[in-house]
Amino acid sequence: MAREVLSIGQVRIHSGSATREEAMKEAADILEAVGSVTSAYFDAMQQREQTVSTYMGMELAIPHGTNETKEAILESALSVVRYDGGVDWGGEPVVFVVGIAGKGDEHLEILSKIAILFSDEDEVAKLKAVATAEELFALVSEAGV
């Protein structure tokens, strides 16, 4: 990939909870703020969620758009938000919401790295234990995301 897909400004930690829609909106807003997607991307995320849940297990959801809405993606990027109070993701408990926008096929490589990071219970425990967005960013970055 030509540039980093994640910077410290795209990582947040909230002590409270959020609804699934609020969490998706925040993920999309972060991506839009860095110029990765257009304002249409939130709608694309909602369309995807209506088709198939983006809940991945291990308290992780990865909201993203549909193939039909690829034009809303300007460049690849991620947003990483931890909700310590949790998010009810269609009946599944979610703590981490990783918004993804992948230009072309870049999303496959990004998804692979996220899947590897979140497949390890010890790594997820570390991600949940850090106190600051900077520490969370460092752990995610160390994983090559």
Lookup: tokens for 123 = 């790594």
Q: If pLDDT is split at 50, 70 and 90, which confidence band does 104 have? A: confident
Per residue in 26-69, pLDDT (tens digit) is 999 999 999 999 999 999 999 999 999 999 999 999 999 988 88
Lookup: tokens for 136 = 């969370």
Nearest to 48 by CA among 121, 107, 3: 107
Whole-Å CA distances, 65 to 7, 12, 49, 71, 107: 21, 21, 9, 10, 11
Which residue among the candidates 20, 48, 64, 82 is catalytic per the annotation? Answer: 64
What's the whole-number average pLDDT of the chain?
A: 94
pLDDT greater than 70 at residue 2? no
* CB 56, CB 90: distance < 8 Å: no
Give the pLDDT score at 3. 59
* CB 97, CB 28: distance < 8 Å: no
Mean pLDDT lowest among 39-43, 48-52, 99-103, 141-145: 141-145
Strand partners for 89: 92
pTM of the predicted model, to two decimals? Answer: 0.95
pLDDT greater than 90 at residue 8? yes
Handedness of CA 135, 55, 85, 44 (dihedral sign): positive
64 is catalytic: yes
